[in-house]
Amino acid sequence: MGHNAHVTSPDSHRAGFACFVGRPNVGKSTLMNALVGTKVAITSSKPQTTRRVIRGIVHRPDAQLIIVDTPGLHRPRTLLGERLDSLVLSTLTEVDAIGFCVPANEPIGKGDRFIADKLSAVKKTPVIAVVTKCDLASREQIAEQLLAVSQVAEFAAIVPVSAQSGEQLDVLADVLIEHMPESPPLYEGGQLTDEPEQVLVGELIREAALEGVRDELPHSIAVVVDEMLPREGRDDLLDIYAHMFVERPSQKAIVIGHKGERLRDVGTRARKQIEALLGTRVYLDLRISVAKDWQRDPKQLRRLGFYD
């Protein structure tokens, strides 16, 4: 790996966010874990930025590359919906670079093209095509795949890697870092909070409940996740018990909808997002209650997990 000749001065430090997208089983998780060296899922909640799930951080003396998850792009059934979920699109437009993963050992298919298509709509963000699983392909296969990928769309770069053997991972990190803005480090060591998955799950339920009725319920929904535990005797199903609180009966009626139809939709939408986030099947038990004026009651706020 070639070292840059110039001495890095503090003002040329780069820092920013990158995410990886691709259809299921293209090796995104393995790649993220290999890049950052450990398995982590961290969320950061900085004022004015949306909450992002941070998978990990590549620290270098001259750069900090923060790898974030894209919720919802994991599953083809959520992908082939009419539109890309707003949460995903907002993540994609907020990162500084996107890694689009295609395995070296499988032909490019409809799922890949579908995602490439969606990515081309994210005009301002550079997309780097990452040809994964190169350890499973011959040199010829890799060469052919690089050519095939270059014909799918205009990419800022195309990088073949193997997360298994570690080959070219440093090259991929270099390429991603080139696209990061000049910035001091965004996270100092101690600033990362390992927020429990419960918080994220609550956030996804809240997003689903607000979908389409933001004007009527601007901020008056709180979600408490009471329990998250594997179903007894099953390792492939997670039971989640969650409780939504609104401030007034009229708001409860909005969330529940006609004959409870909207509440069922909220549950389904939230469940799909949670399944995509956690990578497991989920049974979601969702209730709603009125907690009068919870936003102004310190005791209720504490119970709902809002601390000063």
Domain boundaries, the chain: 14-178, 197-304
In 3D space, the residue among 237, 234, 228, 231 whose CA is nearest the CA of residue 200 turns out to be: 228
Structure tokens at 269: 């939408």
Q: For the chain, give percent helix, strand, coil, nearest 5.
A: 40, 25, 40
pLDDT tens-digit readout, 37-54: 644 444 444 333 334 566
Distance between CA atoms of residues 171 and 34, nearest Å: 13
Q: Annotated binding site: which residue ranges? A: 22-29, 69-73, 132-135
Residues making up the chain, counted from first to last? 308
Taking the C-alpha atoms of residue 85 and residue 8, their distance in angstroms, rounded to an integer, is: 40
pLDDT one digit per residue (tens) for the chain, 308 residues? 444 444 444 458 888 889 898 887 788 878 887 887 644 444 444 333 334 566 778 888 888 888 877 654 433 343 333 344 555 566 666 788 999 999 999 999 988 988 888 888 777 889 999 999 999 999 999 999 999 999 999 999 999 999 888 899 999 999 999 999 888 777 665 344 334 567 778 888 888 888 878 777 766 788 888 788 888 887 778 899 888 888 889 999 999 999 999 999 999 999 988 887 777 789 999 999 888 776 666 666 666 655 43
In the CATH hierarchy, which fold is given to the domain comprising 14-178? Rossmann fold (3.40.50)
- Asked if CATH classification 3.90.850.10 holds for the domain at 197-304, the reply, yes or no, is no
Residues contributing to the annotated binding site for GTP: 22-29, 69-73, 132-135
**Three-class secondary structure assignment of 25-90:** CCCHHHHHHHHHCCCCCEEECCCCCCCEEEEEEEEECCEEEEEECCCCCCCHHHHCCCCCCHHHHH
What is the share, in percent, of the chain residues with pLDDT greater than 90?
28
Rounded distance, CA 71 to CA 196, Å? Answer: 16
